[in-house]
Amino acid sequence: MTDALLPKRFLFHFSAPCLYAGKPWSSKGAGLSDAHRLPHLGELEDLLPWAEVWAGWNASGLAFRAQVRGKKQPPWCRPTRAEDSDGLRLWIDTRDVHNVHRASRFCHYFLFLPQGAGPRLDRPVAQWMPINRARQHPLAIAPGSLQVVADRHADGYRLDVFVPAKALTGFDPQEHPRLGFTYAVLDRELGEQTFTVGSPMPYQEDPSLWATLELTR
């Protein structure tokens, strides 16, 4: 692969602030403001965003919000095909290591869908997923640890999610205030939007392709 074919986001290591949130989560969802919105790095490749993503933290864990706009069709979500479904994916490394190509036990992959759970399949989905080729997996999390609230609207949806500290092996904001991080919002209608490089590069399993979130107050 020549430099001309490499995505511009591959040529840089990005770091973005993840601002403190006093009350990052409630029954209504993530308590995040416009200041918590993450930059759209795809603009370096002239990619127009159709999703916005926010991130915040405190000692209790990490909160995220994803807002998808521009859809003409309902989200495609199937509980038996979660990885192929429309929704938000998060990859988090609590040690922010970028010189390895296989995930360690500090690397996490979480998947959130706007629907697909419940008797009518109309409730949101939140689950931990294994990372392909990982050297080790993080500690198992208790069922129900991950929190998610979904709000459907005419041209898309909003997902608010919370990943508690107990679901993040090695999470220690004082000793390790930098996290390896990337996200992907997948949509059968709109495509793939990622924080750092997207497909066909193996960002789903290679921590060296992730950016850094700086936990700042």
- Residue 112 sits in a domain of what CATH number? 2.60.40.1190
For the segment 53-75, what is each residue's pLDDT rounded down to a tens digit?
A: 999 999 999 999 999 999 999 99
What pLDDT is recorded for position 12?
A: 83
At residue 125, the pLDDT reads 96
Q: Is the pTM of this model over 0.85?
A: yes
Residues 167-195 have pLDDT tens digits of 999 999 999 999 999 999 999 999 999 99
**Could you give the CA distance from residue 49 to residue 4 in angstroms, rounded to a whole number?**
23
In a domain, 21, yes or no: no
19 within a domain of the structure (yes/no): no
Domain enclosing residue 161, as ranges: 27-66+79-216
- Residue 3 within a domain: no
pLDDT in tens, 149-168: 999 999 999 999 999 999 99
Residue 123 lies in a domain: yes
Would 148 be classed as within a structural domain?
yes
3-state secondary structure 42-70: HHHHCCCCCEEEEEEEECCEEEEEEEECC
Does some domain include residue 9? no
Q: What is the count of structural domains for the chain?
A: 1
Residue 20 lies in a domain: no
pLDDT for residue 208:
97
Contact at 8 Å (CB) between 35 and 56? no
Q: Is residue 47 part of a domain?
A: yes
Region 120-142: mean pLDDT is 95
